[in-house]
Amino acid sequence: MNKPQSALLAGITAILLGITLTFAFAPYGIFPLAVLAPAGLLALWLKASPKKAFWLGYGFGAGLFGSGVYWVYTSIHVFGSVPVPLAILITVGFIAIISFYPALTGYCLNRFFPATTKEKLIFAFPAIWVFLEWMRSLLFSGFPWLLLGYSQTHSPLKGYAPLFSVYGVSLALTMSSGLLVYAFMHKKKNLTSSLLALLLIWLAGGLLSYIPWTIAKGKPLTVSLVQGNIPQTIKWSPEHLQVSLERYLDLTKPLLGKSNIVIWPEAAIPIPLQYAQSFINDLNEKAEASGTALILGIPIRKLDTGSYYNAVITLGKDKGVYTKRHLVPFGEYTPLYSLLANTLKFMDIPMADMTPGRVNQAPLTIAETNILPSICYEIAFPDLTRSPEKAIGLLLVITNDAWFGNSNAEPQHLQMAAMRAIEFNKPLLFVSNDGITAIIHPDGKIAQSIPQREIAVLNGSVQPMYGITPWLKNGMDPVLFLFIIFIGMAVIANKKASRAH
């Protein structure tokens, strides 16, 4: 096979490996693929120059994100009213940009560690991969979707999450990939030791998952999660406002006095709080009279600027407000609005001029239980949701995933929420307008759920858990320390190998 044919085959293989990795995540959950796909890519990189490794990584990223976040098109075109050509252009452009992260991983690995040493495979590769995953979560508003570790909510490796968050799980996965490649490269010499190290990583993760990082305290709370299933096509329509209000009210009335907490999803009331005051006052009276607390999503208009907060409010005996801190670019706000306003004025996205809430906000308190809320996309960010507050008893996510259409985004979103439950070792309530609505155990397992696109109420019970895990206490510091150690070991090994040749 000549060089052009070989390069083409390698490129196609890289793309297929990226597509394969998508099946490690929800809804498929074939979690071993999160070891095998990166291992295949690493094997391709070892035969490539830094430049070729860059393009192989880019192909891998295009395959992964093209098959994993294709639903961006649905959000932009179907619900953002963007014409098909421009929606395709934006979606392709977005995938093209985030594909640079695996491309940079390949380039940096082969540029700075040209010698194929054991340390390059087992330490440098994981450190660079996970560092760039972290950067992807932070830079340019951040996009932490499909971080490698999210695929392991049902595998033994989830035991690393309470110590190092999802990044620690990604580190364990990529170390496993490196060990696998090293074992096949040196079948006779190091096969046994590599496989034993691989077994140790997975066994340690499984044992860590049995550690009770938090303890139960207080009585279990009865909860009712209301899934109104209001279609996105009519959700923000003034003509259908009464449909939304009546549906949620009808579903809630039988629950008053029976559940401790009734929860409605994000923007369940699709008009600003100031314009729905009479409806809210009536709801509050019902909540106070019944002894049932009500949590719901509603926009709040800022009187001074006319912009809006995406908010959660609590009604009943305990009052509280949380405003969304991390907004979705082009969905809830427009970056560089003064420059792009004329270009994007045809995009009919409701509430697209929102303002982020304060960084530090108090948890919601109901029945002496502190609840840490997140709205929609926020739950995807490990650093954003991390809280060292010991007195938080459970986590809450309210969302409107109807923006994603009938795609893999909804189960992927739920899987990220499950990883947050594991990191906190606390129960999590996930309340969606059109599904999936679920109650998640502290170990990330789905305790109860109701299907998508159904009008339904999920009734259940949750036990508040108190205490903090090492991740909540220490944050990224231990992970960054591991990065430094891993890179240092790889640098030393690379220098020794270079001198030997």
List, for residues 15-47, the tens digit of each pLDDT value: 999 999 999 999 999 999 999 999 999 999 998
Of the residues 158, 235, 324, 426, only one is catalytic, namely 324
Percent of the chain with pLDDT over 90: 78
Domain span including residue 130: 3-212+475-500
pLDDT tens for 334-363 read 665 555 555 555 555 555 568 899 998 999
pLDDT tens for 130-145 read 999 999 999 988 999 9
Same domain for 325 and 279: yes
Q: 3-state class of 405 per DSSP? A: coil
Same domain for 228 and 168: no
Same domain for 325 and 178: no
- C-alpha dihedral over 261, 265, 266, 271, to 10 degrees? -90
- Model confidence, pTM: 0.94
Same domain for 277 and 330: yes
Strand partners, 313: 296, 321
Beta strands in 197-319 (DSSP E): 215-216, 221-227, 261-263, 293-301, 308-315
The neighbour count for residue 35, using CB atoms within 10 Å, is 26
Spell out the per-residue pLDDT of the chain, length 501, in tens. 667 778 899 999 999 999 999 999 999 999 999 999 999 999 999 989 999 999 999 999 999 999 999 998 888 877 666 788 888 998 999 999 999 999 999 999 999 999 999 999 999 999 999 999 999 999 988 999 999 999 999 999 999 999 999 999 999 999 999 999 999 887 677 888 999 999 999 999 999 999 999 999 999 999 999 999 998 888 888 898 999 999 999 999 999 999 999 999 999 999 999 999 999 999 999 999 999 999 999 999 987 777 899 999 999 999 999 999 988 876 677 665 555 555 555 555 555 568 899 998 999 999 899 999 999 999 999 999 999 888 999 999 999 988 888 889 999 999 999 999 999 999 999 999 998 999 999 999 999 999 899 999 999 999 999 999 999 999 999 999 999 999 999 999 999 998 876
- Rounded to whole angstroms, the Cα distance separating 251 from 47 reads 61
229: left (phi over 0), alpha (psi -120 to 50) or beta: left
435: left (phi over 0), alpha (psi -120 to 50) or beta: left
- Rounded to whole angstroms, the Cα distance separating 278 from 281 reads 5
Residue labelled with tokens 């009052």: 319
CB 318 within 8 A of CB 324: no
Q: How many domains does the chain have?
A: 2
- Rounded to whole angstroms, the Cα distance separating 385 from 469 reads 13
Same domain for 342 and 203: no
Q: 3-state class of 360 per DSSP? A: coil
266 is catalytic: yes
pLDDT of residue 141: 87
pLDDT of residue 232: 86
Q: Which of 459, 480, 483 is nearest to 471 (CA)?
A: 480
pLDDT of residue 366: 95
Give one DSSP letter per residue of 147-176, joined into a string.
Answer: -GGGGGTTSGGGGGHHHHHHHHHHHHHHHH
Same domain for 325 and 186: no
Same domain for 495 and 443: no
Same domain for 203 and 76: yes
Q: Which of 395, 415, 397 is nearest to 465 (CA)?
A: 395
Same domain for 422 and 340: yes
Of the residues 133, 266, 332, 423, only one is catalytic, namely 266
Same domain for 77 and 15: yes
pLDDT of residue 76: 81
Same domain for 479 and 454: no
Domain containing residue 321: CATH number: 3.60.110.10
51 is catalytic: no
Of the residues 376, 378, 410, 423, only one is catalytic, namely 376
445 is catalytic: no
pLDDT of residue 340: 53
CB 56 within 8 A of CB 41: yes
Same domain for 403 and 368: yes
Strand partners, 473: none
Q: What DSSP character marks residue 400? A: -
CB 340 within 8 A of CB 86: no
